[in-house]
């Protein structure tokens, strides 16, 4: 299963403080960081051929009630186990933020995963409301701390959700890449919210099955 993942270790976009050699501006992510403000140096995002300072994959997992339908949460956890195992094999750091009910919390990392990924991920439960904005804000704070500690590190944000939420979160500025994994793919009535956010944030939106293909 691992061999099919879209796992691009050490490639993608990085901020101005990223690894040496960045020259080409990544305009979609630069404009997403700028939003409605005047363009400033801190808004710039650069394309990197290689992440010389390592990679951090920050996963944000929607654990709300709607993710229990159709075994979506179970599928998401299975994908995370495989992605964590792959990160361990490549010595990449990961972090996991879970949101559901009325709160959000960091459940792991940032750190290189260990061998017991499946065991502890199995205990992650679901239910309640969808505090999506709080989940993104928690991940944003984590990424900002990581950027201050390891400025040359490439930071990738993965959002596992069905998009069934309200609120308009702001794109985490410290995320060099954004990848939505849209669990609404099997729903009869679709909102398309993950795809719209991915487009607004200069990211990519795929289904769980595309992640495996």
**pLDDT band for position 10 (50/70/90)?**
very low
pLDDT at 78: 87
Structure-token pair, residue 72: 């979506």
> Is there a domain that residue 173 lies in?
yes
Q: Assess whether pLDDT exceeds 70 at residue 7.
A: no
131, 166 contact by CB (below 8 A): no
- Identify whether residues 114 and 72 lie together within a single domain: yes
The total number of structural domains that make up the chain: 2
Both 28 and 113 in a single domain?
Answer: no
Q: Which residues, listed in sequence order, are joined to residue 154 by a DSSP beta bridge?
A: 55
Q: Where are any strands of DSSP class E within 12-164?
A: 12-15, 24-25, 45-48, 55-62, 93-100, 103-111, 154-161
Higher pLDDT, 126 or 79: 79
Residues 59 and 137 in one domain: yes
- Do 44 and 60 lie in one domain? The reply is no
Domain at 151, CATH number: 3.40.50.410
**Rounded Cα distance, 33 and 201, in Å:** 8
Residue 174 Cα to chain centre, angstroms: 11
DSSP string, 169-195: PPPPTT-SEEEEEETTTT-SS---HHH
Residue corresponding to tokens 């995963």: 113
Higher pLDDT, 184 or 43: 184
Query: Is the per-residue pLDDT at 172 higher than 90?
Result: yes
Domain span including residue 30: 7-48
pLDDT exceeds cutoff 90 at 148: yes
Which pLDDT value is given to residue 170? Answer: 92
pLDDT tens, residue by residue, 109-143: 899 987 766 666 666 767 767 789 999 999 999 99
pLDDT value for 116: 65
The reported pTM is 0.75
- Position with higher pLDDT, 41 vs 145: 145
pLDDT exceeds 70 at position 106: yes
For residues 5 and 47, which has the higher predicted lDDT (pLDDT)?
A: 47
Residues 108 and 178 in one domain: yes
Whether residues 42 and 62 share a domain: the answer is no
Do 26 and 96 have their domain in common?
A: no
State yes or no: pLDDT of 11 exceeds 50: no
Q: pLDDT value at position 124?
A: 73
Query: Are 96 and 70 found together in one domain?
Result: yes
Same structural domain, 147 and 171: yes
Q: Are residues 22 and 83 in the same domain?
A: no
């Amino acid at each position: 299963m691992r061999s099919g993942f879209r796992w691009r270790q050490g490639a993608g976009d990085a901020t101005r403080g990223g690894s040496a050699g960045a020259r080409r501006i990544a305009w979609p992510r630069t404009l997403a960081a700028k939003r409605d403000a005047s363009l400033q140096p801190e808004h710039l995002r650069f394309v990197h051929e290689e992440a010389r300072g390592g990679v951090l994959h920050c996963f944000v997992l929607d654990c709300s009630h709607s993710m229990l339908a159709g075994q979506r949460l179970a599928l998401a956890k299975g994908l995370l186990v495989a992605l964590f195992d792959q990160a361990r094999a490549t010595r990449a750091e990961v972090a996991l933020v879970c949101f559901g009910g009325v709160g959000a919390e960091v459940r792991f990392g940032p750190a290189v995963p260990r061998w017991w990924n499946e065991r502890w991920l199995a205990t992650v439960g679901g239910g309640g409301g969808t505090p999506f904005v709080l989940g993104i804000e928690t991940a944003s704070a984590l990424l900002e701390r990581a950027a201050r500690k390891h400025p040359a590190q490439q930071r990738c944000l993965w959002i596992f959700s069905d998009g069934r939420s309200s609120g308009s979160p702001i794109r985490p500025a410290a995320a060099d890449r954004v990848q939505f994994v849209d669990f609404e793919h099997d729903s009869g009535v679709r909102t398309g919210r993950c795809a719209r956010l991915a487009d607004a944030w200069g990211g990519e939106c795929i289904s769980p099955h595309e992640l495996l293909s």
